[in-house]
Amino acid sequence: MKKKSKTMTLDIAKKTSLNNKTPGEKYMTPEFTSWVQSEHANKNVFLVKCLYVDMAGDLIAGLLLSQILYWFTPSSKSDEKGKLFLVKKLQCVKEFNKSTGKEYCLAKNRESWWDECRIKARQYDRAIKILVGKKIVRVKNFKFNNQSTPHIFLNQKTFIKLYNEKVAELKIREDNDDF
């Protein structure tokens, strides 16, 4: 039988009568409270799912995979009538080979990953090799803005296969942890 842990949530928006502070804030310095509020307002973040790290077998490769998937996942937008539709983030289309035809790809040089998710160029080199080795992505250099630039192609079938395998593996682990 699993023990249920008690959790306490900090709701900064909900003030108590004690000096107009939240329950958590009464134990924080004003400077730390200010920092917490700025952290909540900061939009310069990225999300890495643990599952992607598990799929890649490496933290940095999982982070890189997460960011690649971000670019390949369409954004949802609303038109003036409120109807939702998907908008592709990627605009780069290249012919990779005769059998696959034209595909969307991510054109991004190895140095620019630092600005996006703090991966250094050499870390990128190692991480992309892992993802290519697992056949999650293919990489080919093409000219982009007059520079030779890696173009990353997502192998959707391989990604979904590995994703489903990891989800099933985690489900089995969860089921075994129940007793």
For 138, the enclosing helix (H) or strand (E) is strand 137-144
26 is a domain residue: no
pLDDT at 179: 52
CA pair distance 151, 92, nearest whole angstrom:
9
- The gap from C-alpha 30 to its chain's centroid, in whole angstroms, comes to 33
> Pairing between strand 137-144 and 75-78?
unpaired
Rounded to an integer, the average pLDDT of 134-145 is 93
- Taking the whole predicted model, whether its pTM rises above 0.95 is answered as no
Domain that holds residue 58: 50-173
Cβ–Cβ under 8 Å, residues 66 and 49: yes
10 is a domain residue: no
Cβ–Cβ under 8 Å, residues 65 and 55: yes
Rg (CA), the chain: 22
121-131 tens-digit pLDDT? 999 999 999 99
160 is a domain residue: yes
Number of domains in the chain: 1
Instruction: Kindly give the residue spans of alpha helices, DSSP state H, lying in 19-155.
Output: 30-41, 50-56, 59-72, 113-117, 121-133
Residue 51 tokens, joined: 């599952």
16 is a domain residue: no
6 is a domain residue: no
74-99 tens-digit pLDDT? 877 777 777 766 677 776 767 655 66
Q: With a cut of 90, say whether residue 63 has pLDDT above it.
A: yes
The enclosing domain of 96 has a CATH number of 1.10.10
